[in-house]
């Protein structure tokens, strides 16, 4: 009899390690997360909230479990996005978020731009809308931020253009690509770094670095175009070569005729 | 002139060579000049091959990169490689035409059997050169070629010797490079010398007793050579070949070999394994046997059948 009771108790107790268990009660959140990048990447509830034991529909809080609070979101995100939260940490935005003083304008943690359960990659225009909630449009902060996003978008575009050209030219004869490939690699690395660094809201640095990388990528693209154009002119070599051969042929032909 | 002449005797040698070359020839001197064109391409291959060897690195790791570097970075490297690749195609084509012409005029008949056999050996060496040359860039075609060669040698239990170990790698590349850049040119020099010496001994068929002075070989050969140069320059400058991505072992089932190997490729698809290798020895046996088939009609019949089958297999291989 006691064995049977124990089995029943074990059955009643569930372990929330999969989303199925969570969704039974938290259906709204399930709907919110459905289209998030986390859902697409198969990252479920427990990745952020931890696991817990549930008994009769109640959290027992015996395992590693956390209902995320605004104050601590950055550190929750940092479990996976460590470099981003490290860049975010020294910013004024992080400072406000950590205080969590109830002021709506101070809710400036990760979720402010990326959403809460509906986590999305922040798009330029959506972020700018968020920025305008606190920063007036012609203000210094707003303009700097906008320019930084513009610079990054421009860099992305320039790198894509350069990368496309490099792929098309890969293995083609007569056009050196090693130096421009190296510039492309450096640009891609710098792009990745800047995407992280922009979370620190040090937009002056982001703008200057993005502009420099953009210029370098554009320069590399132009260099390739010049090399392609120059290599295209190689058929001009045919003029002296074929001319000389024709001359020799003429000499051979007429001398042969006179001696025959 | 006097000083050099006294020491080298080059002038007298040149005169005797000129007299030999200006001997009357059978009516169609243009056809005979195919041999001069083939010789010209062989010399081009040696010169450009020597230049390519300066930068080529015979290593599994760096081989592909070094070809990539030759083609994209070294000044005029693309041109040298382009000439080498196009002259290889043209050389094999001209050698085959030269052989067909020799067969059509029954030039292999007594007492010229040895000349024909030297020619067959030359063709084999040229095919070896083409095959190994295709492996060296280590793109997908190259890696496939190395694998096919290793798989063949496995049939005769020679796989480890060809690979230079358990698997295709740097030791394989070293072997292929040594064959392509040392043994092939050495064999070519010896065999071409033998081939020409035999022609000089027996004179060209049908011209043993011809009198008269026209047309001279020098003029026909000169025109053919200039045409060959112009064609090579045009192809090499206008259509320089690039380098494919580095080859690997997993993804190369649909890669086709050089055009001259397409008949073998298709034959091996139909008859795989040891049986296929046996089938491949048949055309070689026929080429060697031709001078010893006494009835001309039998030789023509067999050779024509073999040629038609080879072309059909080649076309099939190219289209499949």
**Which ipTM value was assigned to this complex?**
0.80
Which pLDDT score, from 0 to 100, does residue A173 have? 94
Mean pLDDT value across residues B226-252: 90
The predicted pLDDT at position A260 comes to 46
Mean pLDDT of B268-275: 84
Residue B150's pLDDT band, with cuts at 50, 70 and 90, is confident
Give yes or no for residue B239 having a pLDDT over 60: yes
Average pLDDT over residues B92-121: 92
* Identity of the residue in B72, B219, B222 whose CB atom sits nearest the CB atom of A173: B72
pLDDT given at position A45: 84
- Interchain CB distance below 8 Å, A176 and B73: yes
What is the model's pTM?
Answer: 0.81
**B227, closest residue in chain A (CA to CA):** A245
pLDDT the model gives residue B209: 67
> pLDDT category, B211, cuts 50, 70, 90?
low
% residues pLDDT > 70 (chain A): 90
Cβ distance of B72 and A175 shorter than 8 Å: yes
- Written in H, E and C, the secondary structure of chain B is CHHHHHHHCHHHHHHHHHHHHCCCCCCCHHHHCHHHHHHHHHHHHHHHHHHHHHHCCCCCCCHHHHHHHHHHCCCCHHHHHHHHHHHHHHHHHHHHHHHHHHHHCCCCCCCCHHHHHHHHHHHHHHHHHHHHHHHCCCEHHHHHHHHHHHHHHHHCCCHHHHHCCCCCCHHHHHHHHHHHHHHHHHHHHHHHHHHHHHHHHHCCCCCCCCCCCCCCHHHHHHHHHHHHHHHHHHHHHHCCCCCCCECCCCCCCCCCCCHHHHHHHHHHHHCCHHHHHHHHHHHHHHHHHHHHCCCHHHHHHHHHHHHHHHHHHHHHHHHC
Give the best-scoring range by mean pLDDT among A141-155, B29-43, B245-259.
A141-155
Span between the terminal Cα atoms of chain B, in Å: 62
What confidence score (pLDDT) does residue B72 get? 93
pLDDT at B27: 57
Partners of residue A256 in chain B, C-beta under 8 Å? 216, 219, 222
Segment of B46-60, B97-111, B132-146 carrying the highest mean pLDDT = B46-60
Partners of residue B245 in chain A, C-beta under 8 Å:
170-171
Instruction: Tell if the CB–CB gap between A178 and B216 is shorter than 8 Å.
Output: no
Instruction: Say what the pLDDT of residue B210 is.
Output: 64
Q: Does A235 touch chain B (CB under 8 A)?
A: yes
d(CA B282, CA A99): 88
A9-22 mean pLDDT: 62
Residue of B nearest to A175 (CA): B72
CB proximity B98 to A under 8 Å:
no
Question: What residues of chain B lie within 8 A of the CB of A260, using their CB?
Answer: 213-216
- Tens of pLDDT along B166-196? 888 889 999 999 999 999 999 999 999 999 8
Which pLDDT band, with edges at 50, 70 and 90, does A175 fall under?
very high
pLDDT score for A10 = 47
The torsion angle over the Cα atoms of residues B199, B203, B207 and B210, rounded to 10 degrees, is: 150
- Are B233 and A241 a contacting pair at CB < 8 A? yes
Q: What pLDDT was estimated at residue A16?
A: 56
Candidate ranges A195-199, A222-226, B5-9; pick with highest mean pLDDT: A222-226
Give the position of tokens 């060579």: B17
The per-residue pLDDT for range A39-50, each reduced to its tens digit, is 888 888 888 888
The 10s digit of each residue's pLDDT in A82-125 is 999 999 988 888 888 887 777 777 778 888 888 888 888 877 77
Mean pLDDT of A201-221: 94
Give the distance from residue A238's alpha carbon to the nearest chain B alpha carbon, in angstroms.
7
pLDDT (0 to 100) of residue A8: 47
In this complex, is the C-beta atom of B241 within 8 Å of any C-beta atom belonging to chain A?
yes
Q: Work out the percent of chain A whose per-residue pLDDT is above 90.
A: 39
What are the tens digits of pLDDT across the range A179-200? 999 999 999 999 999 999 989 8
Q: Residue B199's pLDDT is what?
A: 84
The residue with greater pLDDT, B20 or B117, is: B117
Mean pLDDT is highest, among A69-73, A255-259, B261-265, for B261-265
pLDDT at A15 exceeding the cut of 80: no
Shortest alpha-carbon distance between residue B180 and chain A (Å) = 23
């Amino acid at each position: 009899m006691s064995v049977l009771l124990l089995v029943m108790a074990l059955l009643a107790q569930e372990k929330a390690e999969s989303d199925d268990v969570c969704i039974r009660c938290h259906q709204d959140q399930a709907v919110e997360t459905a289209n998030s990048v986390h859902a697409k990447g198969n990252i479920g509830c427990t990745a952020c909230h931890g696991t817990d034991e549930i008994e009769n529909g109640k959290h027992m809080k015996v395992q590693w479990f956390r209902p995320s609070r605004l104050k601590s979101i950055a550190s929750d995100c940092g479990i996976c996005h460590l470099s981003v939260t490290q860049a975010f940490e020294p910013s004024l935005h992080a400072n406000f978020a950590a205080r969590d003083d109830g002021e709506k304008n101070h809710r400036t943690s990760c979720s402010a731009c990326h959403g809460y359960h509906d986590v999305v990659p922040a798009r330029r225009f959506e972020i700018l809308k968020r920025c305008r909630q606190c920063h007036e449009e012609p203000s210094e902060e707003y303009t700097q931020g906008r320019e930084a996003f513009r610079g990054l978008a421009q860099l992305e575009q320039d790198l894509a253009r350069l990368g496309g050209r490099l792929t098309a030219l890969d293995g083609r004869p007569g056009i050196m690509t090693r130096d421009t490939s190296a510039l492309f690699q450096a640009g891609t690395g710098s792009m990745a770094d800047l995407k992280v660094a922009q979370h620190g809201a040090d937009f002056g640095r982001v703008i200057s670095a993005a502009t420099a990388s953009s210029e370098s990528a554009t320069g590399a693209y132009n260099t390739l175009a010049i090399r392609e154009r120059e290599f295209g002119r190689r058929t001009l070599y045919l003029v002296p070569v074929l001319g000389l051969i024709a001359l020799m042929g003429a000499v051979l032909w007429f001398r042969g005729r006179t001696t025959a | 002139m006097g000083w050099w002449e006294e020491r080298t005797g080059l002038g007298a040698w040149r005169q005797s060579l000129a007299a030999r070359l200006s001997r009357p020839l059978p009516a169609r001197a243009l056809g005979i000049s195919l041999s001069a064109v083939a010789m010209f391409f062989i010399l081009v291959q040696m010169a450009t091959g020597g230049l390519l060897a300066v930068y080529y690195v015979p290593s599994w790791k760096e081989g592909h990169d070094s070809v990539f570097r030759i083609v994209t970075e070294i000044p005029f490297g693309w041109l040298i490689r382009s000439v080498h690749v196009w002259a290889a195609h043209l050389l094999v084509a001209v050698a085959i035409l030269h052989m067909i012409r020799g067969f059509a005029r029954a030039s292999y008949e007594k007492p010229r059997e040895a000349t024909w056999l030297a020619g067959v050996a030359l063709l084999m060496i040229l095919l070896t050169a083409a095959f190994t040359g295709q492996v060296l860039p280590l793109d997908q075609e190259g890696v496939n070629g190395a694998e096919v060669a290793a798989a063949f040698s496995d049939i005769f239990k020679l796989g480890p010797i060809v690979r230079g170990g358990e698997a295709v790698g740097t030791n394989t590349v070293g072997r292929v490079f040594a064959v392509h850049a040392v043994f092939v040119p050495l064999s070519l020099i010896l065999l071409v010398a033998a081939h020409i010496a035999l022609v000089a001994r027996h004179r060209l068929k049908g011209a043993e007793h011809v009198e008269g002075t026209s047309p001279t070989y020098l003029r026909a050969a000169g025109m053919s050579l200039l045409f060959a140069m112009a064609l090579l320059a045009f192809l090499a400058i206008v259509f320089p070949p690039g380098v494919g991505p580095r080859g690997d072992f997993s993804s190369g089932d649909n890669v086709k070999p050089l055009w001259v190997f397409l008949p073998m490729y298709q034959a091996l698809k139909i008859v795989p394994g040891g049986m296929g290798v046996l089938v491949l020895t048949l055309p070689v046996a026929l080429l060697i046997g031709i001078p010893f088939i006494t009835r001309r009609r039998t030789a023509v019949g067999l050779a024509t059948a073999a040629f038609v089958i080879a072309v059909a297999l080649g076309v099939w291989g190219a289209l499949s």
